[in-house]
Structure 1
Amino acid sequence: MMRKCRFSLRSVTAVMLVGGTLALTQGCSSTPRPDAEVAGASAALMSAESSEATLYAPVPMDRAKDKLRRAQQAIERKDFDEARRLSEEAQADAELAHAITSKTRAQTALSDLETSIEMLRSEILRGQQN
């Protein structure tokens, strides 16, 4: 009879040990707050806004703003995995908007330069014909 009690006590102890280990493991593996990711996304968004990306790339800018807002809401819900993902996506969208803006400005500058070169060529040709 004593033997049965030991077996039950060992079983209970083993179950408690496994349960405690699982609880500790889950507690240790929780995702930390994605503060750095949110800060990076905010900085990328401000940089894109200062380059007037809202004018040249409104769709990626709107997506970036929306994802950053949703990331902040996810932090409030303590859904840090979702907040991290959304922050990283917001940063990528803001960087895309910045790149589109830079490309558009470069294309505009190139077009202006080509126009100036063409005007100079025609003036040179006119001067040679006289």
Structure 2
Amino acid sequence: MSGNTSPCHHSLHLFAKTDESQHAGIVQKLSDQALKDSQIEVLAIHLDLDVLDPHNFRSLLFAKPGRGKHDFGDVAEGKLNIPDVLKLIQEVTTEKEVVGMTIAEHMPWDALNLQEMLKQLPLIGG
């Protein structure tokens, strides 16, 4: 679909579960004010690295070497920089304690390409 501007690739989403919704399995998206006013005591943060700009952080799906313009459809690419992400996380962690964190969508293209190259070298490869 052309022109997809999925918010998951343009901004960092912060989710949390309250004690009541945890049992019901309901996840709530929270704004800064909602987080401050909530009954939420702790946070578990999930960070998809693909919110980062692939021109500034190379270990992302969108930074795949040799990729074509439409290799991943028309999915919007991340636009944030590391300082942007750190600022967003720091803003919410001043209000609530972080008890868990996951990081996803890491694609170490250079390491993968180096591994493949080394396999083919004399004395190192097979």
TM-score, scaled relative to structure 1: 0.26
TM-score, scaled relative to structure 2: 0.26
Of structures 1 and 2, the one with the larger relative CO (CA 8 A, separation 6+) is: 2
Q: Which has the higher Rg, Structure 1 or Structure 2?
A: 1
Structure with the bigger percentage of helix: 1
